[in-house]
Amino acid sequence: MPRRPSLLPPPWVRPHRDGVLIALAGLVGGLVLWRFGLYNNPRVGASYGAWLLLPLTVMCLAALWRRSAQPWALVVAVAALASDFAMGSLLATVIVFTDVVYAAVLYGPPRLSRTLLPASVALTVAVTLGLVAVIRTPSTLLLGAFCAGITIAPAWTGVVIRDHRNAAAAERLRAEQTALLAEMDRVQAVTAERGRMARELHDLVANHLSAIAIHSTAALSLDPPDEAATRDSLRIIRENSVQGLAEMRGLIGLLRDASGDGAEPAASPTLAGLDSLIERARAGAGNPGLSFALRDERGATGSALPAPVELAAYRVVQESVTNALKHSAPGTVTVELTRDARTHGPLTVRVTSPLRDLLGAGREGPDGTPVPRAPGSGSGLIGMRERVELLGGALSAGPSNASHGRTKVWEVRAELPVEEGSLP
């Protein structure tokens, strides 16, 4: 969309309101002083008369653009002041000049702001020394003080105010950056918490829902229907439904607890519950050719693991077993836990299962590829990897070089570091 042209003149043409007021006040004050003959140098001013209004007018015009036309407004003001001094001078012209000097430091370019105060000091010293050398009377020091009053004083005031404004702008910018960083931290914290909740919810109910899907599929595939097998499938479906619902209610109750501090649930599963997990997997397999084996080779370190490590290891095994129920071919699913008791090395979790191949181990789809007994979305592998990486470990999942006859093996391997200082 084309940008509409502005109907207002540019800033360097449009004077600021403060400049207009200062120019009007200076012009009116100068006219009053001229009308009553109140010159700074009465003898010279009386000889020039109305000509003194010309430097006053130029000075007031420079005051109009004191904000937007620096340093040119200062150059014009210096020329007008020199003419005013030569004609006898009006106090209003000098006062307006001090404001132009102040505005040059406050609104002018940074280079002008930095150099004007030292230049004013150098000019005052030069004028004072020159007058003392020429006139050689103590009264010339008053002229030096007057020069300092119309140059150093406004320049120094402008420097102080500009420094304060720059400091305030820097503080505002720092506050905005702090607020932005706080908002980014909040968004990251919310995102991380949502990811943790999603992983926990998936791990709580995926196993039960997979068992329900497998057994409902098995019950529907019986032709003619077998009453005993159907009742057994319905019993397993009911058990998994009730247990999944109970775990879901527990998680929802934890999330609703506003006084919680973000800790894991009090009843977080540990590696001691792997036997029960394997037993439930055997009962919910729905495939007589699929068996499960658990090998715990941790030795003396079997009970000396921090709670986060045990929870992550349990979830890795749980998800691997669930995937085996959905995708593996007939065979043995092996769960191995190992850890070097002498070096206190990382906990290694290894789960192997027979991998379906294109030779047709199990049901096949219309295109000849194996069909899993229950659908999957891939969220489990992502959740396992996130859990392991949060503890500084590493996880790999994929076909292994080992095989059982013509059936390949799918291997999930996780290494979870265990800090010695965190052991009980």
Q: Which single residue is written with the structure tokens 């077993």?
A: 321
Q: Are 215 and 233 in contact (CB under 8 A)?
A: yes
DSSP-derived secondary structure letter, 52: G
pLDDT at residue 122, rounded to an integer: 92
Residues across the chain: 424
CA-CA distances (angstroms) from residue 243 to 64, 237, 258, 395? 82, 10, 25, 29
The kind and range of the H/E element at 120 are helix 110-135
pLDDT at residue 99, rounded to an integer: 94
Q: Are 376 and 325 in contact (CB under 8 A)?
A: no
What CATH number has the domain spanning 268-424? 3.30.565.10
Q: Which two tokens stand for residue 269?
A: 């599963």
Q: What is the pLDDT along the chain (424 residues), one digit of tens a residue?
A: 455 555 555 555 678 888 899 999 999 999 999 989 899 888 888 899 899 999 999 999 999 998 888 889 999 999 999 999 999 899 999 999 999 999 999 999 999 989 999 999 999 999 888 888 888 887 788 888 899 999 999 999 999 999 999 999 999 999 999 999 999 999 888 888 777 777 777 776 766 677 777 667 766 666 666 677 677 777 777 777 777 777 677 666 666 664 455 544 445 678 888 888 888 777 766 666 788 888 888 765 555 688 888 888 888 888 888 888 777 778 888 899 988 766 678 889 999 988 765 334 444 444 444 445 555 556 678 878 888 888 888 998 888 766 555 567 888 999 988 875 444 4
pLDDT at residue 106, rounded to an integer: 92
Q: Which residues contact 18 (CB under 8 A, 6 or more apart)?
A: 66, 67
Q: Are 373 and 213 in contact (CB under 8 A)?
A: yes
75-83 long-range contacts, CB within 8 A, separation 24+: 77/101, 80/55, 80/56, 81/55, 83/54, 83/55, 83/58
Q: What stretch(es) of the chain map to CATH 3.30.565.10? A: 268-424
pLDDT at residue 78, rounded to an integer: 94
394-404: strand order across its sheet: 290-297, 331-338, 347-355, 407-416, 394-404
Q: How far apart are CA 407 and CA 328, in angstroms?
A: 10
Pairing mode, strands 331-338 and 290-297: parallel
pLDDT at residue 424, rounded to an integer: 42
For the full predicted model, state whether its pTM sits above 0.75. Answer: no
